[in-house]
Amino acid sequence: MDRRRFLKVAAAGSAMAAASGMVAAKAQAGSKTAFVFVHGSWHGGWCWGQVEPILNDAGHMTVAIDLPGHGLNARLPGTFGARPLDAAAFATDPSPLAGIGIADYAAAVVVGAERARAAGAEKVIAVGHSMGGVPITFAAAGSPQLFDGLVYVAALAPVPGKPAGAYLQLEDQAKNSKLGPALVADPAVIGALRIDTRSTDPKYLALLKEALAADVDDGLLATVMHLLTPDAPVSIYGEAAEFSDGFADIKRTYIRCTQDQTVVPSTGAAIVADMNAAWPSQETNLIDIESSHEVMFAKPAELANMLAGLA
Residue 203 DSSP one-character state: H
pLDDT in tens, 77-133: 999 999 999 999 999 999 999 999 999 999 999 999 999 999 999 999 999 999 999
pTM above 0.75, yes or no: yes
Homologous superfamily (CATH) of 33-308 is: Alpha/Beta hydrolase fold, catalytic domain (3.40.50.1820)
Instruction: Report the distance separating Cα 255 and Cα 271, nearest Å.
Output: 11
pLDDT in tens, 268-278: 999 999 999 99
Instruction: Report the distance separating Cα 242 and Cα 35, nearest Å.
Output: 24
36 three-class SS: strand
Provide mean pLDDT across the span 172-184: 97
pLDDT value, residue 106 = 98
- Is 305 within 8 Å of 222 (Cβ atoms)? no
pLDDT value, residue 167 = 98
**How far are the Cα atoms of 106, 182, 209, 233 from residue 225, in angstroms, in the given order?**
26, 14, 10, 19
Mean pLDDT of the residues in the chain: 91
Q: Is the pLDDT of residue 21 over 50?
A: no
Among candidate residues 308, 257, 286, 277, the one with its CA nearest the CA of residue 40: 257
| End-to-end CA, the chain | 48
pLDDT in tens, 34-91: 999 999 999 999 999 999 999 999 999 999 999 999 999 999 999 999 999 999 999 9
Among candidate residues 28, 19, 30, the one with its CA nearest the CA of residue 62: 28
pLDDT in tens, 195-252: 999 999 999 999 999 999 999 999 999 999 999 999 999 999 999 999 999 999 999 9
Provide mean pLDDT across the span 15-44: 63
pLDDT in tens, 135-173: 999 999 999 999 999 999 999 999 999 999 999 999 999
pLDDT value, residue 13 = 39
Among candidate residues 297, 77, 105, 115, the one with its CA nearest the CA of residue 209: 297
Handedness of CA 114, 120, 122, 127 (dihedral sign): negative
pLDDT value, residue 30 = 52
Q: Is the pLDDT of residue 17 over 80?
A: no
Query: Phi and psi dihedrals of 93, rounded to 5?
Result: -75, 115
What type of residue is 254?
Answer: Y
Question: Domain extents for the chain?
Answer: 1-30, 33-308
Secondary structure (H, E, C), 232-252: EECHHHHCCCCCCHHHHHCEE
Instruction: Report the distance separating Cα 130 and Cα 208, nearest Å.
Output: 15
